[in-house]
Each structure stands twice: as structure tokens, then as C-alpha cells.
Structure 1
């Protein structure tokens, strides 16, 4: 492939010399993180986050290193200068011009990053992706105890204006659709009585009904943390989650799995014969149970595949189970505190957006002009 060689020129104005090189000598090599950046990436992964989060951190750090190497012709190091972070933002954020939406990343670098596997496709990334990469860089500086360029007033002001610019174009950060009761029931209908069908039905109901479990929590669920409840169904103990890294079990970490969800889980355990280890496992092409737990990626793929089979749309993901639980709780006027106890949310700012969206759908205030919504005036 054509590789990228960068000749540093005047500071802030690197001159590019695009020279075909062999892949083995690629400048954009994921192994080329500097010692400090590598240490920061390891620190991030050591924070006790889920496997999915660790992968996203490392991916973001690799992208930073590859972009920096392509832009400046040397390995990335911390602390990052403020002008570099500003350059990263304008390279990846679209802005309106007379010629349409543009961003500053040179096409040659863009193509090389795609070719080397650091980007899925050419062009500006989603706003969510850009903000996530800035957040990861900020955390890397914090953990390395280095001056943080992401908290500089110029960077913060630029990010704020960038978000407002996207909002004015109705290009706000994308949120996965919430899988509320009606589409969720349609998804469950796609699960037949095969071993895979019983597994998927139990997995989906376990994740949704026990409070909208994260895919990492479903992937890491084990039989040993499941016990029967005196009142019927099960109690599942979240010994490790995004909000519980030390394994100390608190009352709110015990989640009920009852009703339809308990029935589906019981059917899966009976069919699979699982009595120890991971609750939700791979099933091979011959329809036989595997030993290893499903990964977070596999759980995401199950949700998307079942949604596609049900014909409810393509824009659902594993997180749709969590947002769907909260949104449905709002629709059914469930107490917010009880909902948060189930989900494990600590911040009301995070959960109330979905909760209020669900409540608004059944709001009488929103239907004041509907026929029959007003009381009949007394004669």
C-alpha cells in the first residue's frame, strides 16, 4: 500500500511527502506508541473498566498516536501541546463553508489512516467519536499526572462551539434507539425453542428486565452469582460492574430476575445444563454449547440480529436494552428512584433524559388538544 512519510517543516505547518513504502515499514504502526503513551494506555486499562471500555480506550490512544505520527512525523508523547489538540479537533470536526461541509484532515493522511486500519472509512468521524477521543486523551494526561491540554480554555471553547455548530445543523451526537416494550416483545418473538433461541431469549430478558444490564455485565454473568428467590424467580448479584469495581456487594447490587425473565432463564439453564461458570455461552455451528462466555461484541451482534429478524429497525444496539428499560419505566410512570436502583445509575442527569422521554409519550399535558382529553363543561 502507499504509506505516509512526513517531513517536519515550519512548526504548525508540516510538509507532507507521500512515498510508497512497504507495510512492514509503515509510519502508521499501532506498535509505535511512545513509552509514556503506552504507559498511559496501560493505566487506562488498569482502571478496572469493562473489557469493552478498555478496548475503546486503547483504540482511541492508538488513533491519537497514528494521527500524530502522520501529522508531525514523530512519535506521540505526553503532555500534548494545546495547538496539537486544537489541530486534532479541526482535522476531525466538520464546519460549514460555501463549498459545503469540510474538515481539515488532508485526504492523503485520511486515506492512509483508513488503509492502515485506524479508521473504518474516510471522512470526518461522528461527533461522539471525536468527543470520546478527546476525553480519552484528557484521562491519559490525568493518570500520567501531566498538564492537561484538554482543560485549556481555548480547547474547551472550541469544543463548546463545535457542539453548538453540530446542533445548529441538527447533527447532534447519535443515541441508539431505546428498545421499549412493544419492539422488545417483537424481538423476543424471533427466539424459537432451539438451544440458541432459548439462550437469546433468556439473555435478552435477563439484560432488559433486571434493570437494563450493560453488555459487559451480561458477558461476565456467572451461575455462581445466581440464587433462587423465596418469592419465586431469582436474585442475581452484580459482583463487578461499571459502578462497583471492588467486588464488595451492596444491597443495591442484588437484582431481581422474576416473571417472564425468570421463566426464560430457567428454560435456558435446563436446556443447556449449565451449573457453573458463565451463564451465557457460545453455541457452535453444530448447535452444541461451548465453554467460553459470550463477548460484549457477540451480545451486541445478537441484539442487532434479533432486531433485524423482528423488522423493528436497524438502529438498535446492546445499549438499547438499557435505555429501553429506563424509557419504558418513564412511560409506565414508575418511580424514578426505583428505576435508578434497578439500573445502578448514580447520576440523575444520565438517567432522567431517557426517563422523561418515556414519560412525555404518555403525558396528558402533551395531549390537551386531542379529542376527548378535555372535561365536558357543566351545563
Structure 2
């Protein structure tokens, strides 16, 4: 049997189907496109970790025996790995076996019994990003530098600071995911009398692009907090007329052609929060999306209106963002506090 060409990700050859005849170049490209680059990297990383563990403990990784897999997840749980981490590792191991037309080792009774016990023993709610919303968001935006001063030459716009302001305000008002912010291009931004309309070609809930997803970016009453103004200011200062919207800026204050990586979006939000010193998190790029949902709810928006912007398919998912705020609504303990 012959494998298709690697996709550029270490260990990627294991993420493609094993076939009797070689795949054509176009077929291999479609196979690679079936999973996002982040997903492929995650699968490959998990598989390297599992296969390394097998080598150290005298087990075959492919195909994996039930006792190898149950021993592996038992060791992970004993070392303090989160249930979500172990679940992701199991998914990666399952995927590699499916691509080899091998039985799924995660279905073995020994593995499912141990896994159920791990979940019951170590299961806990995932750590949620703290919502970033006014007034904290105002402080974070204000802490972004707008100009750079030099001893030997005139000052100039601080391009990284202008980009960060645009990222924060666009991220909050649009409620985009970090991958969507990183992938946003000038062609995706359309003018509208009330602001801008963002077209999202692909998303977590629309991976095949079969349904158009539109997100609105409204003019805000305060210019200093207007996402449209912040976006226009950044694009004009950076001289960006096409291609990626959010780009890397060099230490020498020069804009590159390279778009931000989704993880860079995360780091920019964390650095911006640290500059404002607004308190403990956890903070991440997801704090902007969570902040949109929570703040909109506090301002009286319905779950359906929020889901229209966030593109959540389930209103229950929207409710999960605002459960802490909801806990105080129409609550008997809150009423008793007034006695």
C-alpha cells in the first residue's frame, strides 16, 4: 500500500488514508483540505506523544492494543492531565487508526471502562475565558499605544498599537473567533450605511462554506470605541488595501504582508490586558467573544439576537456563556438578601 504525499505537518503521512494505489496530487490536496491546518497539527502532535509513550513501554502504537491504550490514558490521568486533553488524545488515536482502515482501539471494552472511570473521577467543567467587556474593555483599549516617540527622528503612528485597538474592538463587536479574525481579508469587509458587513467564508459551524455567514460591524456613538473607526484608522495607517486585515508588525514599526496566526491573536489580547492591569483572568482571544455575549445579554439582547451575530446554532450554547449572569436573575436567594 502507498501513502499520499505528506502535507507539510510532521507526522502528516499518518493523517492521510492508506490506499492501494497512489493518490494523485489533486486528490492528496483534497485530503489535506479535509481538516484544518490546526487540526492536522494537533492530531500529529498527539500521535507523536502516544507513539513515543508506546515505544518507551514496549507497545506497538499501530495498531494499538487495548491494554496499551488503557495504560496510556491511566498514566495521563494520574499525571493530572485534564479530561478534555485525554479526550482529544483519544480522538487523534482513533483518527490515525481509521485512516489506516484499522479497528478503532478506543471502542475496546477495556478502554471504554477505564475512560468512563476517568471521566467520573477527574471530570470538571472546562476553564472558561473571562469575558472582556466594558468598562474593562475601555481600559484595555486606552492602554494600547497610538504613537511612537524617537530621540533622533519625528514621532509616528504606533502601528502595533493601532492594530491591537482594531483587533480588540472588531473582535468584541463582531464576536468572531480568533481563527476568523486571523483569516479576515479586506475583500471580506463591505461598506454599509450603518457600518461594515463582514463575510466569513468558513467557520467552525460552516466548514464547507455551504451557507453564507454575515457578521455586522456597527458604527458606535463614541468614536474612541467605534470598531469601524478603529479598523479604518489601522488600515489607513498601515497602507493596507488588499489581503489580510490583521498583520504582523515588526519591532521597527513596519507592517508585513503576513497575517496573524490565531495563536498570535490570543497573545495580543493577553498582552493588551496585561498593559491595562485590570485583574486576573483567565484572559484569551475568546474573552472578546464571551464579552460580546455577556454584555449584550446584560443590555437586554435576546439569546436569538445574540446567536444571530455569533452564529451559534444552539441557543443553549449561547446560554452557557451567560450562566453566571443568569444565576442572579429571578433568584430566591437574591430576594432574601434584601430582608
Q: 2:303 aligns with which of 336, 355, 359?
A: 336
Indicate if the aligned counterparts of 2:67 and 2:110 stay in contact, CA closer than 8 A.
Answer: no
Which of 221, 225, 238 in structure 1 is aligned with 2:200? 238
The equivalent position to 1:278 in structure 2, one of 232, 235, 244, is 244
Corresponding position of 1:39: 16
2:283 pairs with 316, 319, 324, which one? 316
Residue in structure 1 matched with residue 94 of structure 2 by the alignment: 138
Contact 1:283 1:289 in 2 (8 A): yes
Runs of 5+ in structure 1 lacking a partner? 1-29, 95-122, 373-379
Shift in Å, 1:346: 2.4
CA displacement at 1:287 relative to structure 2? 0.8
TM superposition shift of 1:338: 2.0
The answer (yes or no) to whether the contact 1:40–1:141 under 8 Å persists in 2 is: no
Contact (CA 8 Å) 2:12, 2:40: kept in 1 or not?
no
Mapped to 2, the partners of 1:143 and 1:288 lie a distance apart of 44
Correspondence for 1:188 among 131, 141, 150: 141
Aligned length: 304
Change (3 A) 1:304 1:273: same
Cα 1:156/1:189, change in 2 over 3 Å: farther
1:302 is displaced (CA, Å) by: 0.3
**TM-score (ref. length: structure 2):** 0.79
CA distance in structure 2 between the aligned counterparts of 1:363 and 1:196, rounded to whole angstroms: 45
Assess if the C-alpha contact under 8 Å between 2:15 and 2:96 holds in 1.
no
User: Is the 8 Å Cα contact of residues 198 and 268 (structure 1) preserved in structure 2?
Assistant: yes
Q: Does the 8 A contact of 1:331 with 1:360 survive in 2?
A: no
**322 and 57 in structure 1: CA distance in 2 versus 1, 3 angstrom threshold:** farther
For 1:77, the equivalent position in structure 2 comes to: 62
Q: Using the TM superposition, give the Cα deviation of residue 209 of structure 1 relative to its aligned residue in structure 2, in angstroms.
A: 1.1
Residues 71-116 of structure 1 deviation map (CA, whole Å, 9 limit, x = unaligned): 2265x213x222222111111102xxxxxxxxxxxxxxxxxxxxxx
Q: Measured at CA, do residues 34 and 367 of structure 1 come closer, stay the same or move farther in structure 2, by a change above 3 Å? A: closer
d(CA) in 2 for partners of 1:368 and 1:195?
Answer: 50
Match for residue 261 of structure 1? 227
Cα distance in 1 for partners of 2:51, 2:239 equals 47
Q: What do the CA deviations read for 1:153-203 (whole angstroms, capped 9, x no partner)?
A: 443332232222124xxx544333332433333322211322211110111
Aligned to 2:172: 208
CA contact (8 A) 1:331 1:359 kept: no
Could you give the per-residue CA deviations for residues 274-301 of structure 1, whole angstroms, max 9, x where no partner exists? 1100000111111111111011121111
Query: Whole-Å Cα distance in 1 between the matches of residues 17 and 209 of structure 2?
Result: 25
Indicate conservation of the 8 Å contact 2:196/2:216, yes or no. Answer: yes
CA distance in 1, matches of 2:107, 2:249: 47
Contact 2:62–2:97 (8 Å) recurs in 1: no
Deviating more after overlay: 81-90 vs 134-143? 134-143
Partner of 2:117: 161
Answer yes or no: is the 8 Å Cα contact 2:304–2:315 preserved in 1: no
Secondary structure class of the residue paired with 1:46: helix
Q: Distance in 2 between matches of 1:87 and 1:44?
A: 35
Contact 2:74–2:114 under 8 Å retained in 1: no
